[in-house]
Chain A
Amino acid sequence: MRRELGMSVALGLMCVALWASNPDFLGQSNALNTARQISMLGIYAIGIGFVIIAGGIDLSIGSVIGLTGVLIAKISSTQPGGMGSPLWMGICVGLSVSILIGLAQGLLITRLKLQPFIVTLGGMLLIRGVSQTVVQGGTLSLAGSPLLGLANGGFLSANGDPLLPYPLVIFLVVIGLATYFLHFTVFGRYVYAIGGNRDAAEYSGINVRKVETATYVISAGLAGVAGVCYAAYIGQMSQQVGIAYELYAIAAAVLGGCSLRGGEGTVLGIIIGSAIMRVIDNGINMFQFRYHDHEGIARIWRLDSNWTFVIIGSVILVAVVLDQVVHIVQAARRTNRAGGAPRTEVTEVPGSANS
Chain B
Amino acid sequence: MRGITKRFPGVVALQNVSLSLAGGEVLALMGENGAGKSTLMKILGGAYLPDEGTISIDGARVLLSGVREAKRLGIALIHQELMLAPNLDIAANIFLGSERPGEPSLMMPLPRLQMNARAATLMRRVGLTLSPTTPVSTLTAGQLQMVEIAKALSHNARFIIMDEPTSSLTSGESEQLFQIIRQLRSSGIGVIYISHRLGEVLDLADRITVLRDGRYVGDLSRAEASHEKIVAMMVGRELSKQYFPAKDERVPGESVLEVDDLLVPGAPAGIRFNARRGEILGFAGLVGAGRTELMETIFGVKPALAGTMTLDGKPFLPRSTRDAIARGVFLAPEDRKRHGLVLPMSVAQNTSLPNIGNYNRWGLLDRAMERRVAEAEVARLKTKTPSIHQKVVNLSGGNQQKVVLGKWLAMNPRVLILDEPTRGIDVGAKAEIYRHMSALACEGITILMVSSDMEEVIGMSDRVVVMHERRIKGVLAHEGLTQERIATLMTGTAEGSVAA
Contacts and interface: CB of A to CB of B under 8 A. Distances in A.
B466 to A, nearest CB: 10
A158 interface: no
A206 B269 contact: no
A314 interface: no
Contacts of B496: 349-351
Given A186-B108, A342-B263, A349-B496, A203 B67 contact: yes
Contacts of A350: 474, 495-497, 499
Interface residues of B, number: 57
A3 B147 CA distance: 28
Contact of A187 (B86, B107, B306, B497): B107
B100 interface: yes
A351 B474 CA distance: 8
B87 A192 contact: yes
Given A186-B105, A189-B92, A197-B84, A353 B268 contact: no
A199 B83 contact: yes
A218 B84 CA distance: 26
Interface stretch (B191-199, B271-279, B335-343): B271-279
A248 to B, nearest CB: 25
A190 B99 CA distance: 10
B500 interface: yes
A193 B270 CA distance: 42
Given A205-B98, A206-B97, A355 B500 contact: yes
B495 A343 contact: no
B376 interface: no
Nearest to B47: A203
B471 A347 contact: yes
A264 B266 CA distance: 28
Interface string A198-212: 011111111000010
Contacts of A206: 96-97
Interface string B226-238: 0000000000000
A97 B110 CA distance: 32
Given A342-B263, A349-B496, A184 B109 contact: yes
A349 B68 contact: no
Contacts of A197: 83-86
A278 B83 CA distance: 40
A354 B272 CA distance: 9
B87 A196 contact: yes
Contacts of B364: none
A351 B306 contact: no
Given A196-B88, A206-B96, A185 B499 contact: no
Interface string B248-285: 00000001000001010111111111100000000000
Closest 7 CB pairs of A and B: A204-B97, A196-B85, A196-B87, A263-B87, A351-B499, A200-B83, A205-B68
Interface of A: 180-181, 184-190, 192-193, 195-197, 199-206, 211, 263-264, 335-336, 338-343, 345-355
8 contacts: A186-B100, A186-B105, A196-B85, A343-B306, A346-B269, A349-B475, A351-B498, A353-B273
